[in-house]
Amino acid sequence: MPWRAAAARCALVESGCLGLQLEVGGKFHLKLNFNSLPCSEKMAPAMKAMKTSAKPMTKGALVDALATAHEVKKSQCTKMMATLAEVATEQVKTAGVFTIPGVCRIKTRVKPATKAGTREMFGKMTVVKAKPAKTVVKAFPVAALKKSI
């Protein structure tokens, strides 16, 4: 049998910084590779942050793009953007939800109050102050936007 012959020769299989040495009986034993490269050099390189060459669009650039697309003055577009912000703020305050079609949905959520006391955080007991309930504003992308990206 060919595998018995390989077992008799004690073939060495490397995996990272550890080597597995095969004995005659067919059992594997861990063996450290001291003569090889350090673990950090053998491991795959760390993933780098994604670089984007394009900068996010500013308010002025957005107004300029809308004005040129619809042949309207920049001042009119600026007023329309301000009106959209006012209407959105008013609707979120009153109804709790506002949707900009095709872009996002803005919602409010009430976070409950927390009691004072001691809590275990990361294995240590810490003293926590009481906090009142508060309303938090959150924005979620619309499903059409998710699918397009």
Residue 123 within a domain: no
Q: For position 63, what pLDDT does the model report?
A: 94
Mean pLDDT of the chain: 80
> Residue 116 phi/psi, 5° resolution?
-80, 155
- What secondary structure does DSSP assign to 3-50, as a single string? HHHHHHHT-EEEETTEEEEE-TTS-EEEEE-SSS--HHHHSPPPPPPP
Q: How confident is the model at residue 13 (pLDDT cuts 50, 70, 90)?
A: very low
The SS3 call for residue 141 is: strand
Cα–Cα distance for residue pair 77/79, rounded to 1 Å: 5
106/140 same-domain check: yes
The SS3 call for residue 66 is: helix
Q: For position 58, what pLDDT does the model report?
A: 93
137/103 same-domain check: yes
**Average pLDDT estimate for 111-116:** 94
Q: Which domain holds residue 140?
A: 96-112+129-149
Residue 142 within a domain: yes
90/104 same-domain check: no
Residue 49 within a domain: no
Most confident of 5-14, 27-36, 39-48, 111-120: 111-120
pLDDT at 136 over 50: yes
Q: For position 9, what pLDDT does the model report?
A: 47
Q: Which residue would you say has higher pLDDT here, 20 or 45?
A: 45
Residue 28 within a domain: yes
Number of separate domains in the chain: 3
